Amino acid sequence: MSNEAKTEELLQRLKECQRKIDALLDEWLPKEDELPSVLHQAMRYSVLAGGKRLRPFLVVESCKVVGGDEEKALPAACAVEVLHTYTLVHDDLPSMDNDDFRRGKPTCHRVFGEGMAVLCGDALQALAFEWLATKLPEKGVPSDVALKCVAALAHASGSKWLVGGQAMDITEQAKGYSDRSPEKVLLIHERKTSALMRACCVIGGLIGNATEKQIEALSDYGYWLGLAFQITDDILDEIGDPEKLGKSVGKDKQQKKLTYPMVFGIERSRELAAEAVERAVKALSTFGEEADLLRALARYVLERQF
């Protein structure tokens, strides 16, 4: 199959996954009229505002790659999406990145206020772990595997990784980003983005009963995919189309944030993103054609305009 045909298959599969995840999120999220209604409105507004559902796709596809049943992975796919949304809601706050638009709509704090946005994020984070602990066993996933999934997501999203990356970013911002070394930008990016994508792949592998070797391969793939994704995100913030991205552009440069284009320039950043993609693809060498969609996804990261 040609690369073009594989990309087309990938995009179709992403859309199918998006529709399935959106339907489940709509079904499982608290209804707007449930008390406290304003909080639940904020949660549904933020989660159901759109999005590529890339992280749920990674969970489902990683499960399939190791021979697992993708239906069993759906609760975990939804869990990582609501956790991801919590990070976006909090990142957009005035005390963080101070963004007014997300996914083409006003950000949560612009609609519901800062206090409610903080509580919205808190509630979504809690909901992610509730779904892992309760809905995975309901789908037939053994309790010990569900517990491993809880641990994997908690580790990836805690102080050493995702939240830690945001803390490092805030700390460096307070210093005026005086340390603009390649090592520093990597430390922040691998925590803010790679950690969660890696966890998505690992969780999918766990649900699919992957071997240790397969888990290691999926972990490496998720790490390098996440890094490539973040580098291209940095690039798009400088030269991307805000209508396609669904958010403001140019803020990183305006705020003199520590990004790959800031440290390396646009062209070298593109080269580094391509190198990360190749390392992601290489990580899947233990798999055959069953991992072709994951390979296609890695390569598509370099082409994306959103």
Token couple for 166: 């945001």
SS3 labels along 44-61: HHHHCCCCCCHHHHHHHH
Residue 105: beta bridge partners? 102
| Calpha distance 236→36 (Å, rounded) | 38
Between CA 281 and CA 296 the distance in angstroms is 9
Q: What is the pLDDT of residues 70-89, one digit of tens each?
A: 999 999 999 999 999 999 99
pLDDT at 244 over 60: no
Give the C-alpha separation, 145 to 245, whole Å: 36
Instruction: Name the band, by pLDDT with cuts 50, 70 and 90, for residue 241.
Output: low
Q: Which sign, positive or negative, has the C-alpha torsion 36, 38, 43, 48?
A: positive
pLDDT category at 19 given cuts 50, 70, 90 is: very high
Burial class (CB in 10 A: 0-12, 13-18, 19+), 100: middle
Count of positions (residues) in the chain: 306
Q: Indicate the pTM of the whole model.
A: 0.93
Place 243 in a pLDDT band, splitting at 50, 70 and 90.
low
Q: How many beta carbons lie within 10 A of that of residue 146, not counting itself?
A: 22
Helix, strand, or coil (residue 303): coil
> What is d(CA 125, CA 19) in angstroms, rounded to the nearest whole number?
22
One-character DSSP codes across 13-81: HHHHHHHHHHHHHHHHSPPTTSSSHHHHHHHHHHHTT----HHHHHHHHHHHHTT--HHHHHHHHHHHH
3-state secondary structure of 241: coil
Amino acid at 259: T
Whether 207 and 63 have beta carbons less than 8 Å apart is answered as yes
Distance CA 171, CA 122 (A): 22
d(CA 120, CA 38): 9
Q: What is the pLDDT of residues 131-185, one digit of tens each?
A: 999 999 999 999 999 999 999 999 999 999 999 999 998 898 888 888 888 999 9
Indicate if the pLDDT at residue 254 is higher than 80: no
Count of CB atoms within 10 A of residue 110's CB? 16
Confidence check: pLDDT of 206 > 60: yes
